[in-house]
Amino acid sequence: MKYRKFGKTDLEVSEIGFGAWGIGGPSMVGEVPIGWGEVNDTTSIYALNKAFDRGINFFDTADFYGLGHSEELIGKVFGNSGKVIIATKGGHVISDDKKPAVDYSKKRIIKACEESLIRLKRDQIDYYQLHSARLEHFLQGDCIEAMHELEAMGKIRYWGVSLNTFNPFPEAEYLFTNKLGHGIQIVLNLINQKAAILAKEASEKGFGVIARMPVQFGLLTGKFTVETTFRENDHRRFRLTPEILVKAIEDLKPVWQIQETYGISKTEFALSFILSLKGVSTVIPGIKTPEQAIMNTQNLIRIKAEHMEILADLYDKSLRYLLDMMERQG
């Protein structure tokens, strides 16, 4: 495993991190699935330990993943160990009418952080993130004040924002311009290359960069077919429609032609693509099993510059239209 400096902080993060959304389990908020289907806690614990054994030291979770269960599992395995770097998030809540909602008030963010510390069994969170906060929330000031206060109280070491999927630019520019926080989390992968330029800018300005969704809900693993379906408690049921699956499988064919020349798997190629971009500190594939911990930490390569240019061109000519479909789907 290789390690990279996280912005201007003193954190040295594994270039592959552990995305812990999936181990939270099949949670529902009302009738809305917010998980990845059934998981087994014993298997999840094995996965966390195997990831650590493979050199992963960066674990990214959130209080909304499994409604706290993901954090509880990480706390059970690692507790207050200084050998791992724990990142979590706050700001997502359940509304009075039992629907997913957000609350970035100072009171809520501080309370959310304190509750996360208990579940994680830690004295301090290494990197705390506002979960999908938007520019309007920054301008209200409450959430920024909360982060500064948490930092002053010693409850968090560093902080940043997990930015929204399809247009992270307004929030990122606000953070850069006002020199707020220490890092950003963005969606970045072969299908969604929109934020590649943002990763480079963030790095140049001293911000750490976490790249999430590296295999775009599994589309970049090559495992799905046009007949693939998802269970009702899997959020991909409403995200990856048959129309999206058909277009994705067709549009990715030239990508896989390049991948085959390297002799590595589609997942390994997808991860290697992100690590070959400028500015990325760590990539956080979702990991639910020990086998996935191994698969996501092997055969990582530097993709040739000429192939990176072709992949960027494929995004401009076809993949961004697939991304537009996904944005309309939600």
Domain assignment present for residue 253? The answer is no
Distance CA 58, CA 11 (A): 10
pLDDT value of residue 238: 86
- Beta strands at 125-131 and 100-102: parallel, antiparallel or unpaired: unpaired
pLDDT band at 214 (very low <50, low <70, confident <90, very high): very high
pLDDT digits (tens, 9 = 90+) for 134-168: 999 999 999 999 999 999 999 999 999 999 999 99
- CA dist list (Å): 250 to 179, 257, 310, 321: 42, 12, 17, 12
Mean of the per-residue pLDDT values for the chain? 97
Q: What is the distance in angstroms between the CA of the first residue and the CA of the last residue of the chain?
A: 35
φ, ψ of residue 289 in degrees (nearest 5): -135, 160
Better-predicted residue by pLDDT, 233 or 154: 154
Q: Is 7 left (phi over 0), alpha (psi -120 to 50) or beta?
A: left
Domain assignment present for residue 251? The answer is no
pLDDT band at 83 (very low <50, low <70, confident <90, very high): very high
Distance CA 137, CA 144 (A): 9
| Overall pTM surpassing 0.85 (yes/no) | yes
Domain assignment present for residue 311? The answer is no
Q: Which domain holds residue 175?
A: 3-216+277-301
Question: Is the pLDDT score of 232 beyond 90?
Answer: no
Domain assignment present for residue 328? The answer is no
pLDDT band at 274 (very low <50, low <70, confident <90, very high): very high
Distance CA 66, CA 27 (A): 5
Distance CA 165, CA 195 (A): 9
Q: How many residues does the chain have?
A: 330
Closest to 29 in 3D by CA, of 326, 233, 239, 241: 233
The count of structural domains within the chain is 1
pLDDT value of residue 163: 98
Domain assignment present for residue 250? The answer is no
pLDDT value of residue 195: 97
Closest to 17 in 3D by CA, of 70, 54, 57, 49: 57
> What number of other Cβ atoms are within 10 A of residue 250's Cβ?
12
Question: Is the pLDDT score of 223 beyond 90?
Answer: yes
pLDDT band at 10 (very low <50, low <70, confident <90, very high): very high
Distance CA 42, CA 65 (A): 17
Question: Is the pLDDT score of 82 beyond 90?
Answer: yes
Domain assignment present for residue 237? The answer is no
The arithmetic mean of pLDDT across residues 112-136, rounded, is: 98
The arithmetic mean of pLDDT across residues 105-128, rounded, is: 98
Domain assignment present for residue 125? The answer is yes
pLDDT value of residue 330: 80
Angle at 239 between CA 237 and CA 245, to 5 degrees: 90
Question: Is the pLDDT score of 59 beyond 90?
Answer: yes
pLDDT digits (tens, 9 = 90+) for 279-321: 999 999 999 999 999 999 999 999 999 999 999 999 999 999 9
pLDDT digits (tens, 9 = 90+) for 15-46: 999 999 999 999 899 989 898 889 999 999 99
CATH number for the domain that contains residue 84: 3.20.20.100
The two three-digit tokens of residue 160, written as one number: 């940043």
The two three-digit tokens of residue 35, written as one number: 């998980």
pLDDT value of residue 234: 87
pLDDT band at 224 (very low <50, low <70, confident <90, very high): very high
